[in-house]
Amino acid sequence: MPRDAGRFRDALSPTALDRVARLTRPDWSRSTTGRRVAAAVLAAVALLLAVRGDPDDDRVEVVTAARDLAPGTLLGDEDLHVTALPAAVVPAGVVHSPGDVVGRTLAGPARSGEPLTDVRVLGSRLADAAAGPDARIVPLRIDDTEVAGLLRAGDVVDILTVDAEGSGAPRVLASNATVVLAAARDTGRTAGEPAVLVALPQVSATEVAAATMTGAITVTLH
């Protein structure tokens, strides 16, 4: 029997295996159009992966709080941790090296894992953010510790004084001072009365600093 006749007979009488193969292989995969569609899909996937790149390339190492930190904490190595975060969520002014903030004072509370920025520690950046260019940070010695204990970072206050003998009317030394630190000195600091620091324009800051050495100081809250 001719060889072609045998092939024709096999086509007319397919085996069970031939039938399964036809069912599991769709017709489009045997067509030129189907192969082109599959190639286009694979090319699109490859392009997407190339554009996205390696996810690790889009991460930035930043300094975060190693634990919950209280305002007024004098930052040490044990308080800090370096974490790799997606670049898209890294805030402006973030600290990249622990050495940049070790020994600095934390101006407000920080949660464990929170990225630390340049305005979260006491310094010129914080003063500028709170009271504008050329601002200064001034410590207040508030006689009434209960009043000092009510203050929180971000509060706006007026600063008043009276003379050392307590005679005469109170005098307003400065208005619209911004509290940048109000915390008990209980974390890496000397124990004692609450620490209160305010940000003021340079001229007002000088007058307030001088008055704290000679007279009683108090504040009124806005």
SS (H, E, C) 100-125: HCCCCEECCCECCCCECECCCECCHH
Q: Is the pLDDT reported for residue 56 higher than 80?
A: no
CA angle 97, 98, 103 (to 5 degrees): 135
Above 80 in pLDDT, residue 104? yes
Q: Examine the pLDDT at 119 and tell me if it is beyond 60.
A: yes
Same domain, 134 and 183: yes
Question: Is residue 80 predicted with pLDDT exceeding 80?
Answer: yes
Q: Record the pTM.
A: 0.58
- End-of-domain residue from the set 92, 118, 144: 118
**Cα gap 154→149, rounded to integer Å:** 14
In terms of DSSP bridges, do strands 156-162 and 135-140 run parallel, antiparallel, or are they unpaired?
unpaired
Final residue of a structural domain among 36, 52, 68: 52
Same domain as 184, residue 145:
yes
User: 29 is in which domain, residue-wise?
Assistant: 3-52
Mean pLDDT of 13-32: 57
Question: What's the confidence (pLDDT) of residue 21?
Answer: 56
Residue at a domain's end among 87, 118, 149: 118
pLDDT for residue 39 is more than 70 = yes
Task: Judge if 166 and 109 occupy the same domain.
Answer: no
**In a shared domain, residues 138 and 213:** yes
Range picked from 12-21, 115-124, 163-172, 184-193 for highest mean pLDDT:
115-124
Count of domains observed in the chain:
3
Indicate whether 146 and 157 sit together in one domain.
yes
Tell me the pLDDT of the chain averaged across its residues: 78
Please choose, from the candidates 201, 190, 196, the residue with its C-alpha nearest in 3D space to the C-alpha of residue 212.
196
Indicate if 84 and 143 belong to the same structural domain. Answer: no
Task: Report H helices in 53-201.
Answer: 124-131, 145-150
